[in-house]
Structure 1
Amino acid sequence: MNHYYFTLNISYQQFLSHYSGAASSVLVTTDQGLRIQLPASRFRPYLSQIGIKGRFRLTTDQNNKFVKLETL
């Protein structure tokens, strides 16, 4: 398993444009400087009225396939 840590701060309006299809993915930069592109739908459970804000941990398998995304 691989773990990637990052902080995300997206306003509600910005995220709606991602989720509605204008941009279907979110590009994040990990603490190590690695850029990872994730489907916007993976962040839907973390959306609140203020948007998506916080620290996250992305877990992938040995083939870098998505396993889970969680808040810290």
Structure 2
Amino acid sequence: MANQYIRFKLALSYDQYLAVYQGVAKTVTTVADDGRRIVFPAGNVQRYLTKAGIQGHFEMELTAQNKFIGIKKLG
């Protein structure tokens, strides 16, 4: 079975993401382009954090068994 790819948009402010460092938030919840609600560890998008927060369209790759492989920013 092939890997799954889930596309989604994020628009988190720097302060919203800062809650992760303060231990208030541990996960990111968003709605994928196909309508599925997805939840994943906030650390998976940490490398995309800028002073503006985390903004953009992303693609998450999972194995056929739903094991996380990675997230990349699109465009």
Q: TM-score range by the shorter chain?
A: over 0.9
Aligned 1:1-72 pairs, distance under 5 A: 1-72=3-74
Give unpaired runs (5+ residues) of structure 2. none
Identity of aligned residues (%): 36
Q: Report how many residues are paired.
A: 72
TM-score (normalizing by structure 1): 0.95
Structure 2 distance, partners of 1:64, 1:36, is: 12
Structure 1 distance, partners of 2:26, 2:67, is: 18
Larger Rg, first or second structure (1 or 2):
2
| Superposed CA RMSD | 0.8
- Aligned structure 1 segments of 4 or more residues deviating by more than 6 angstroms: none
